[in-house]
A and B are shown apart, each in its own frame.
Chain A
């Protein structure tokens, strides 16, 4: 069954090239191929639920050969990536009508997915870095896809900051390589585990914290995100905020800290401080935004803070909350970005101050946006409520009362920016300019409604989710450096 693993990378990568080649003769090749690939990936990732396996490229055993590692944690991420990218693609079919060079869009989209799947599956540092760069470069291009002044500026900032992060990550990898003589993650973990405490390792960890922290948009490494995410086309914003910062940032950070280096109390508190800062700063800044997508972008920073805090706790409950919040955030944030895109599609503006009374004209869009916002504000029984609750319980259980209070306070900040948005979505008078707007096309609505239903379902079906995908992922994190034994098959 483990022969399916390389397909997670190969299929979207291949599709990306096929689309570009076919586009020469069939200009509309993008949609069917991308959608088909995406459906395949959803099926693949559902089929690997509950499995754990190692794929040895060319049957070379680690640490010599390239390995792809599938376990509970990577399954969780694969599932998130494929489901969200399916909805984003479904949405983009009509949304992208207003852009040119559509085949390029779908090709880049596939490249992005391939890169993220590769990062999540790869078992060695070198491939991790390669896939990281594939996904990052695809995302730079996608952010700039509109080719207007704003998009180009945002993309440039993103490119520079993210490029710096990649450089530091590479530096960290180089240091580890010089120290251990291997690039296989499990092998590195084993070698470091047998070595006395070493400053070089700590140096490398700092590099990774900064590098992946920047990819995950933790404060103070966050400022690229509020420029890049709003500038991208809506489905890409959904992909970036919904999954990219998690797959490239949070996931790798967690994988390295727990499975390769082992969580020390010090690392835990560093990550918690970063997470706490992100929660507060992101939440506060979101309140002050007039641009709907920018508001959502800041809110992503705030929510990724919750994930970081939950995971950094290192207790079973905290990890559970962090992971649950990770997939919940993927759901409601992509829902929100897609709704924001739909609103922009109809009204041609992202400025809240230029909107008003939209709910009469765009009932489906505004209702799904409201569900997304209620979920992100932690209103029961939607999914966001449960994951925040678990994180708060875990914080209190571990005796972090102040951080628990901060987490609750930030959830109040979330209510505040929801209040700000609802004022323009549901109340006020429809501006004269917008008198003729109509609801967005059918396919876009389908995507929104399905995501909104998911927000509700994931809240109600927590026991089911916990049994099938969350528990295995949590166990992988909890096993810590025992990861080594799994990879080497001991």
Chain B
């Protein structure tokens, strides 16, 4: 069998086997899942080291619309494949402990393994239709995984996710068919369409909607926070935090690097989308009271950087975007896993009810600190380097506004993670949470491994850049002078570094502002009565309500809560009106139905006789 089939077939078959294994022998299922994911990971590494692989197999032919089962592994796809395998392994191990008591474990592992198979299929396929099929299968599996949450919110979350992703998949389908109409082929490695005509722009936008929705960029982002409310935490860590980012950004990169020859205008659109995503989502994240939901808004916000980086169209920016894709997957998965650890022990993710867990859960605390610093772009962790590349590219193409947006977003990210760290790990511990213990090895090692990767990819950033990402970017958009050479940009101390520090300072100031006037420690004196600590303790979320209540922001936040910025909500309202109008027309009165038919006949006759 062609080695390209292994990463698809093995997890798929293992998934089927998981369904067959009786419910009670949990261990077999877990071992099987681990073996399958380790196997996928190892094969992916081999494929990566082996260079290019092909598999060509004709399948269906509709006229010149040839759906061929073509697979191709090259630098880019095999490095993404490697990370898919890695995250699969990490999450499978973590879930063994997390889902131990769950009665949906059987289906959970099946869906998990199938998701690995589908994601591998997406990155390996060289035919757009095959890509789309794996893509949609991944969407359905995500829907099924969210439903495993089993609560009322899971149902709503699953519905919302599937609706938004289903819409974007439809857009992608249409985009692919249009792309075939322009380029005359479905083969990804043969297509190269020049943007220029309006039709080509529409095609690109349709395809990009598919990619952006999967990645979770504004305005098709709202399924991510919705899913966070219902899905089991490892599912969040696996799909919206890592795999969906990898897939979405992978497709976006393929679109803008290979499938289309980009121009400045489209690049600018991407950059604007990216900047809005960064700022909007991070502002929302600041005021969240739930750990998972807060993280999910960051999962949206970080996509903005990747889109921004790819939108710049200069090699350094694209490199930054792709590197950020990897880095974000690492630290965001780490953050979700640690949130899961907290949830597992404390039985809640409500920031108001958490606090002071640092001493009880030192490992979780440690990895959260590292991942938080990473996501905030603090040197020397990995997030810093990818953001730095993106800032560099923005400087080089002289786009100060986007630069400011990106850095401001970074500052706010730091501010909001200070909130997380304070609310969960510092401060006074609520009484309920006394006697809490650290999570076990199976849950701890994935977090630690990911945190180590954060450090590794920071200190030795040139390694992944040269090995994984550098070779992918041999490209620049039309009309951009290639004056920014890679070496030059990577290691010269530029404006970006300085602005970076300014960004950090802004974050610190915001943090300090929240604490001004609260530094004096004293017991509250209430006429001699002794209050217990639960009543006097200050939850970390309180500081940030200040932001919410700032004049000018309050209205915006209230609107956001009502869903005014959510196309899902707006579309739903509009659709409901349309449906209502049509329903009112169908009044059930025979004579009006009869008259429609006769009027229809009249129009037909009129047209015919003209």
Interface residue ranges, A against B (CB under 8 Å): 156-157, 160-161, 164-165, 168, 199, 202-203, 205-207, 209-210, 213-214, 220-221, 223-224, 226-227, 266, 270, 281, 284-285, 287-288, 316-317, 320, 374, 377, 379-381, 386, 389-390, 392-393, 396-397, 401, 404-405, 408-409, 411-412, 415-416, 419, 422-423, 426-428, 462-463
Contact = CB atoms under 8 A, between A and B. Distances in A.
A463 B597 CA distance: 40
Contact of B147 (A203, A210, A396, A427): A427
Nearest to A412: B170
Contacts of A160: 590, 594
A288 B583 contact: yes
A302 to B, nearest CB: 12
B590 A157 contact: yes
B147 A202 contact: no
A396 B597 contact: no
Nearest to A223: B593
B596 A220 contact: yes
Nearest to B140: A379
Contacts of A206: 601, 604-605, 608
A239 B607 CA distance: 34
Nearest to A416: B163
A220 to B, nearest CB: 4
Contacts of B180: 393, 396
B107 to A, nearest CB: 12
B143 to A, nearest CB: 9
A278 to B, nearest CB: 12
A202 B609 contact: yes
B166 interface: yes
Interface stretch (B57-65, B387-395, B413-421, B496-504): B57-65
Given A161-B593, A203-B605, A428-B152, 4 more contacts: A266-B607, A284-B575, A285-B583, A428-B155
B199 interface: yes
B604 A209 contact: yes
Contacts of B605: 203, 206
B590 to A, nearest CB: 5
A164 B601 CA distance: 11
Contacts of B177: 392-393, 396, 404
Q: Please list the 5 inter-chain residue pairs (A to B) with the smallest Cβ-Cβ separation, ordered nearest first.
A: A427-B155, A288-B579, A223-B593, A210-B601, A415-B166
Given A209-B604, A285-B583, A397 B181 contact: yes
Interface in B585-602: 586, 588, 590, 593-594, 596-597, 599-601
B582 A284 contact: yes
Contacts of A168: 601
Interface in B328-354: none
Q: Is the interface of A mostly helix, strand, loop or mixed?
A: helix
B174 interface: yes
A392 to B, nearest CB: 6
A408 to B, nearest CB: 4
A12 B338 CA distance: 68
Contact of B593 (A213, A224, A393): A224
B136 A396 contact: no
B6 interface: no
Nearest to A282: B582
Contacts of B272: none
A462 B129 CA distance: 16
B604 A223 contact: no
Nearest to B59: A463
B5 interface: no
Contacts of B269: none
A393 B608 contact: no
B601 A281 contact: no
B16 interface: no
A164 B596 CA distance: 12
B32 interface: no
A220 B588 contact: no
Contact of A223 (B147, B163, B596): B596
A262 B594 CA distance: 29
A411 B597 CA distance: 26
A221 B594 CA distance: 8
Most buried by A among B129, B177, B181, B580: B177
Contact of B597 (A214, A266, A419, A427): A214
Nearest to A357: B155
Contacts of A416: 163, 575
A221 B578 contact: no
A380 B583 CA distance: 31
Contacts of B155: 423, 426-428
Nearest to B606: A206
Interface string B166-187: 1100110110011011000000
B287 to A, nearest CB: 29
A220 B582 contact: no
Nearest to B162: A419
A431 B60 CA distance: 46
Contacts of A408: 170-171, 173-174
A98 B345 CA distance: 54
8 contacts: A205-B608, A210-B604, A223-B593, A270-B607, A288-B582, A288-B583, A386-B60, A419-B163
A239 B140 CA distance: 30
A288 B578 CA distance: 10
Contacts of A404: 174, 177-178
Given A220-B596, A379-B136, A415-B163, A317 B174 contact: no
Interface string B456-485: 000000000000000000000000000000
B136 A380 contact: yes
Contacts of B152: 427-428
Contacts of A156: 590
B19 interface: no
A401 B178 contact: yes
Nearest to B64: A397
Contacts of B63: 316-317, 393, 397
Contact of A285 (B166, B582, B604): B582
Nearest to A204: B608
B147 to A, nearest CB: 7
B133 A415 contact: no
Contacts of A164: 594, 597
A462 B62 CA distance: 11
Contacts of B170: 408-409, 411-412, 415
Interface string B123-146: 000000100110011001000000
Nearest to A281: B582
A417 B63 CA distance: 32
A358 B89 CA distance: 34
B254 interface: no
Most buried by B among A203, A223, A284: A223
Given A393-B65, A462-B60, A288 B178 contact: no
Contact of B133 (A205, A380, A462): A380
Nearest to B605: A206
B159 interface: yes
A168 B593 CA distance: 16
Contact of A396 (B178, B582, B593, B609): B178
Given A288-B579, A397-B63, A415-B166, A157 B147 contact: no
Contacts of B582: 281, 284-285, 288
A397 to B, nearest CB: 7
Interface in B65-86: 65
Contacts of A202: 608-609
A427 B152 CA distance: 8
Contacts of A157: 590, 593
Contacts of A210: 597, 600-601, 604
A220 B597 contact: yes
Contacts of B601: 168, 206-207, 210
Most buried by B among A157, A205, A209, A427: A427
A393 B402 CA distance: 39
B173 A392 contact: yes
A372 to B, nearest CB: 15
